[in-house]
Chains A and B, each alone.
Chain A
Amino acid sequence: DIQLTQSPSFLSASVGDRVTISCRASQGFARYLAWYQQKPGKAPKLLIYGESTLQPGVSSRFSGSGSGTEFTLTISSLQPDDYATYFCQHFTTYPLAFGQGTKLEIK
């Protein structure tokens, strides 16, 4: 089974900063990674999946990259609405797995 480890677990950043969140897989794979955003009391929201396919309505400030065992979510210029917890998810095969989450907080 593939496990995902995100880093950092907590991140403090300011509005306008460029932020990167990493997701490391226990086994390598190509494009089968997705990123979700979750705000307190809300369900997760799909942001990006695959090579870097942005969900409709998601800001182009979000981008994804990587392959093998190292993947990255980048937010190019933090906005107040971006403060949330972010999860990666692989979809290579079942069992699916999520990273433990990265909580992005206001600095």
Chain B
Amino acid sequence: QVQLVESGGGLVTPGGSLRLSCVASGFTFSDHYMIWIRQAPGKGLEWVTYIDDSGTTIFYADPVMGRFAIFRDNAKNSSYLQMSSLTAEDTALYYCARSLLNGDDVFDLWGQGTMVIVSS
């Protein structure tokens, strides 16, 4: 079955850290760029970070620059989001998504999301 499954979310205190995982199945993971997108409760979509197929090109949104790190392990069909110095503004449902094969940064497969709540 072609799918992405996120895990690792939970409740964390401000200033804490969390690592999210995204495991792919049913397709050739190493062919796709991957991104993480978040959605605060009742809000819109916010792009967080991008990693290319080989893991050599990475971009971050300004609000997470220096605090979040994305990486991938193609042998494990997995992408990871290491989050640190978390604040209440990071509270959101975090989705991973894969890019189209044609290189366009458009995302045709999404996971179900994992919820991160930052609160004391």
| Residue ranges of A at the interface with B (Cβ–Cβ < 8 Å) | 32, 34, 36, 38, 43-46, 49-50, 55, 87, 89, 91, 94-101
Residues of chain A with a CB closer than 8 A to B71's CB = none
Partner of A34, one of B47, B62, B106, B113: B106
Q: Are B112 and A96 in contact (CB under 8 A)?
A: no
B45 at interface, CB cutoff 8 A: yes
Partner of A49, one of B35, B61, B97, B104: B104
Assembled-state Cα–Cα distance A94/B100 (Å): 16
> Do A46 and B45 form a contact, CB below 8 Å, given A94-B50, A94-B59?
no
Q: Please encode chain B, from 84 to 120, with 1 for each CB lying within 8 Å of some chain A CB and 0 for all others.
A: 0000000000010100100011111011110000000
- Please give the distance in Å from A51's CB to the nearest CB on chain B: 11
- Please give the distance in Å from A3's CB to the nearest CB on chain B: 12
Q: Are A49 and B106 in contact (CB under 8 A)?
A: yes
For chain B, which range describes its interface: under 10, 10 to 19, 20 to 34, or 35 or more residues? 20 to 34
Q: Which of B47, B97, B113 has the most CB of A within 10 A?
A: B47
Residues of chain A with a CB closer than 8 A to B97's CB = 43
Residues of chain A with a CB closer than 8 A to B45's CB = 36, 38, 44, 87, 89, 98, 101
Residues of chain A with a CB closer than 8 A to B111's CB = 43
Residues of chain A with a CB closer than 8 A to B106's CB = 34, 46, 49-50, 89, 91
Residues of chain B with a CB closer than 8 A to A100's CB = 44
Residues of chain A with a CB closer than 8 A to B61's CB = 95
Assembled-state Cα–Cα distance A97/B50 (Å): 12
Q: Which residue of B lies closest to A33 (CB)?
A: B106
- Please give the distance in Å from A41's CB to the nearest CB on chain B: 9
Beyond contacts A49-B100, A55-B108: 14 other A-B pairs, Cβ-Cβ < 8 A, are A43-B110, A43-B111, A44-B95, A46-B106, A46-B107, A50-B104, A94-B105, A95-B59, A95-B62, A96-B35, A96-B50, A97-B47, A98-B47, A99-B44
